[in-house]
Structure 1
Amino acid sequence: MALSETFRKALEQKDIRMVRIIIKDSLVVDPTFTEMEEMLREAARAQLDLYDPHNGEELNRNREQWNKAYMDSQMTTLLRNFSRERLDLLKEICAVLYADRIQNIREKRENRARDSRSTQHNVAAGGVLLALAITAAVIWVLWRR
């Protein structure tokens, strides 16, 4: 997955706040966390110190009580206290609240991958047929001489 130019620029400029905002937003945009994991790897590769020590706030781990309001409050707090603990909690919350969306995204990705493999197969088959046609034409021309 290609990372946005905005993210790459923020990394290049060591703009930790902007990197954190983009990572936070990616939790909702891509709740499969594929993009976020790539961003975290790139931030680590750029030796950007993203994480704060957890501020000690008791995090609600009761899935039954998770809702959009709690997620929103934790998203807001994440920008003031970008701790691994809070980010991990938000990943869990998003996985629960966006379970249907996650399934849809995964199905779309699988369909795109399958379509891509099918296209590659068709292109390869077309190439083989073209090569056979050219070979047949060459043999026919040589045979007629």
Structure 2
Amino acid sequence: MTIPTQMSLHGFIATPPELTYSKNDVARFYARIGVEQWRKEADGSFTKLEPQFCDLVMFKTAAERAYARFRTGDQFVASGYVHEYEFDRDGETVQREEFVARRIGHDSARTRYSVERPTPERETGPTTGRDTQRRVEPTSTAVGI
């Protein structure tokens, strides 16, 4: 059996995230991101280089969640794929690429955070991803047994 994998990327949010909606009301998260670069020296030390910058996008509900949770400077880890595309600018064809994140989270190695886990009374729905309330009916009305 092969382990299913995806391309991953870790970096930092370099510009304020933007949330826009298409004509079909599909949410799109966009941010310019930076990826730190290091060079190993002959003596075993590392020299920090200028970061490499690229675009990161997400769509639909994931885009709305990312927009609510990420700010400029946040360190993240994302999985997804690289989308290459081209467009015309002033009569010239320009080729670009962007990282399309399917999943994203704060980098636990570089970020302090707390985790809020669902309680039995409040669970996350498996298909919608939205919080759903579970109603618990009493099984007995007896008191002081």
When normalised by structure 1's length, the TM-score is 0.24
The structure that is strand-richer by fraction is: 2
More helix by share: 1
Whichever of the two has the greater Rg, that structure is 1
State TM-score, norm by structure 2: 0.24
